[in-house]
Amino acid sequence: MLLNKAFRALLPIVALAAPAFAAFGITTSGSSWTVDTAGGLVFTINSSNGDITSMKFNGIEAQDSSKFSQISSGLGSASCTNTRTGNNNNYIIIACQTSTLTQYYVAQYKTPAIHMATYTTAEPSVGELRFIARLSRATLPTGPTAATIYGNSGAIEGSDVFMVNGQTRSKFYSSKRFIDDQVHGVTGSGIGAYMIIPGVGYESSSGGPFFRDIDFQGGDQSELYFFQNSGHVQTESYRQGLHGPYALWFTTGSAPSADFDTTFWEALNPSGLTTFANRGYVRGTASGIPSAFSDKIVIGWANSAAQYWVKASSSGAFTSPKMKPGTYTQTLYKNELAVGTTTVTVSTGTTVTANIADTHADDSTSYIWQIGDFDGTPAGFKNADKIETMHPSDTRMGGWAGIAYTVGSSAVSSFPMALFKDVGPVTVNFSLSSSQTGARTLKIATTLAFAGGRPTVTVNGWSSSTPPAPSQPDSRGVTRGTWRGNNNEYTYAIPSGTLVAGSNTLTIYVASGSSGSDYLSPNFIFDALALY
């Protein structure tokens, strides 16, 4: 009876699986290895260099025919192996190896995806690590408009910011914060191709939860990226090891979920993989974050081998992702501003508790006035809502020059998110009562600077000294759609006798020993400023 029931239950599976299973496999023709996933996707790897040379989804060729898809700028030459393995032999793993890098491609039975992981022991000589899918513009034309440069009338900055129909466009304007970027893709008629970075896929990347990098460029090819690391406003050293796992996933158009099971990788045994059984968790509660930021509480962990993050609940409760064993700096972020740190050691198979508190002075100081929130972002300021997808010169932005702000009556959205040395200063008028005069402190917080830019001020004719040049990434930033660098705070001791009862004028300038024109002149990005 039992046998009979089991047998009947098996029947439909066998009947369905047998013909389709026959299609799952790999065929070789010279150096071309063609894998049929039996899930609608058939792809070809060049086993001499590891390039993907074809990806056909439901018969539609997604791969560009002149430039192929590859890790870095291609491996040049690589030694590739292919193995059918895993649970029920339902996986084909192709590993293409050089002396410092192994690129893994995995086909999973009946899954329209190329699962990938990249193992590195050294930074590629080009100085950045990225997977680039060079897809066919004919079949997959549609990605983020701000990064679509096809038909441009030429570069307006470097070789990466272009003008299209009067709008500034750049691949950098496709970037999203890592913490928000699990799935990004391109679409065409009856087809969508999506890069998915699930779970702990960023653990060997660099820059933390708010780092952002290129996702897309729409040119002669539709380029879809996963940047594992780069010097694009990078604030950390590069990590090596296993990057990912990640996946290039095909659909008939709509975005797939990032929540697919990656545990099958453990049976495939790629170099550098730490199994989930060999990981541990951190659990705890973050306290002291002002309620206005209760939906923007983030906990991050970092050491030289790995980085992780998680959004805490509005009450501050958090549980980390599955982390590699080791000792980490645990950081509490109020939005993008680090407001507390502690050290925590994670051990295999255990959960350690590590609570963390907001120890930042801004959340306990009372200010005479404040412009913006001290949260590590220029959110709310003029052009802050546009800077991620436009160049500062874009005519869709509001002007940057000659801004005078009056405390108490000007809208915060009229205060500029950035100050450029060549564009000129910003003026802040404010009124004080006699009890608010005397020796006071002005604080200006910034999130990023370019070419050594930092604030100097005059108040009613008194001039501050010039602070030292900040430590910031040596990279264009605000013109590439990001404010995310090293957060810095500057304080200015305004001497007694400077401030007066009634009307006062503060002027903020960019100081730097360097020079430059317009938006490539020394600059910095405002987080917030306050007088106390």
d(CA 118, CA 141) in angstroms, rounded, equals 27
Residue with tokens 């546009």, as numbered in its chain = 386
CB 283 within 8 A of CB 318: yes
User: Among candidates 219, 220, 126, 210, which has minimal Cα distance to 175?
Assistant: 210
Instruction: Tell whether the torsion through CA atoms of 422, 426, 427 and 433 is positive or negative.
Output: negative
By CB under 6 A, tell whether 32 contacts ligand NAG. Answer: yes
By CB under 6 A, tell whether 49 contacts ligand NAG. Answer: yes
By CB under 6 A, tell whether 285 contacts ligand NAG. Answer: no
End-to-end CA distance of the chain: 83
The DSSP secondary structure of 174-234, one letter per residue, reads G-EEGGG-SEEEEEETTEEEEEE--TTTTTT-SS-TT-EE--EEESSEEEEEEEEE--TT-
CB of 369 to ligand NAG, least distance (A): 14
Stretch that binds ligand NAG, among 42-50, 117-125, 245-253, 327-335 (CB under 6 A): 42-50
By CB under 6 A, tell whether 404 contacts ligand NAG. Answer: yes
H helix or E strand, kind and range, residue 340? strand 337-346
- Three-state secondary structure call for residue 480: helix
Both tokens assigned to 518 = 């317009």
Stretch that binds ligand NAG, among 43-51, 237-245, 263-271, 341-349 (CB under 6 A): 43-51
CB 128 within 8 A of CB 54: no
Q: How far is CA 302 from CA 109, 317, 341, in A?
A: 35, 19, 11
Both tokens assigned to 23 = 């299609």
Stretch that binds ligand NAG, among 21-29, 48-56, 370-378, 414-422 (CB under 6 A): 48-56
By CB under 6 A, tell whether 142 contacts ligand NAG. Answer: no
The single residue among 25, 26, 34, 48 that binds ligand NAG, judged by CB under 6 A, is: 48
CB of 419 to ligand NAG, least distance (A): 17
Stretch that binds ligand NAG, among 45-53, 292-300, 326-334, 472-480 (CB under 6 A): 45-53
The 421-440 site mask, x for binding ligand NAG (CB under 6 A), equals: ------x-x-----------
CB of 461 to ligand NAG, least distance (A): 10
- Three-state secondary structure call for residue 519: helix
Residue with tokens 């009450």, as numbered in its chain = 315
Q: How far is CA 466 from CA 30, 452, 486, in A?
A: 66, 12, 19
Stretch that binds ligand NAG, among 47-55, 237-245, 263-271, 522-530 (CB under 6 A): 47-55
Longest CA–CA separation in the chain, Å: 98
DSSP at 2 = H
User: Among candidates 493, 492, 495, 480, which has minimal Cα distance to 525?
Assistant: 480
Is residue 29 packed enough to be buried (19+ CB in 10 Å), middle (13-18) or exposed (0-12)? exposed
**Up-side HSE of residue 269: CA atoms within 13 Å toward CB?**
6
DSSP at 387 = T
Which is nearer to ligand NAG, 53 or 251 (by Cβ)?
A: 53
Which residues ranging from 70 to 109 are in contact with ligand NAG (CB under 6 A)?
Answer: 77
CB of 426 to ligand NAG, least distance (A): 11
Which is nearer to ligand NAG, 341 or 505 (by Cβ)?
A: 505
By CB under 6 A, tell whether 118 contacts ligand NAG. Answer: no
Which is nearer to ligand NAG, 46 or 320 (by Cβ)?
A: 46
By CB under 6 A, tell whether 507 contacts ligand NAG. Answer: no
Both tokens assigned to 155 = 């570069």
For residue 419, the tally of other CB atoms under 10 A from its CB is 26
Residues in contact with 166: Cβ distance below 8 Å, sequence separation at least 6, in sequence order: 395
The single residue among 275, 345, 466, 505 that binds ligand NAG, judged by CB under 6 A, is: 505
Which is nearer to ligand NAG, 142 or 458 (by Cβ)?
A: 458
Which is nearer to ligand NAG, 145 or 503 (by Cβ)?
A: 503
Task: State the number of binding residues for ligand NAG (CB under 6 A).
Answer: 13
By CB under 6 A, tell whether 31 contacts ligand NAG. Answer: yes
CB of 225 to ligand NAG, least distance (A): 21
CB of 427 to ligand NAG, least distance (A): 6
CB of 471 to ligand NAG, least distance (A): 34
Stretch that binds ligand NAG, among 41-49, 166-174, 435-443, 488-496 (CB under 6 A): 41-49
Q: Which amino acid is present at 65?
A: S
Which is nearer to ligand NAG, 148 or 504 (by Cβ)?
A: 504
By CB under 6 A, tell whether 348 contacts ligand NAG. Answer: no
CB of 77 to ligand NAG, least distance (A): 6
Which is nearer to ligand NAG, 46 or 168 (by Cβ)?
A: 46
CB of 462 to ligand NAG, least distance (A): 14
d(CA 122, CA 240) in angstroms, rounded, equals 6
CB of 402 to ligand NAG, least distance (A): 11
CB of 64 to ligand NAG, least distance (A): 12
Both tokens assigned to 24 = 């799952």
Both tokens assigned to 185 = 């893709």
CB of 68 to ligand NAG, least distance (A): 7
Instruction: Report the interface residues with ligand NAG, using CB under 6 A.
Output: 31-32, 46, 48-49, 53, 77, 404, 406, 427, 429, 503, 505
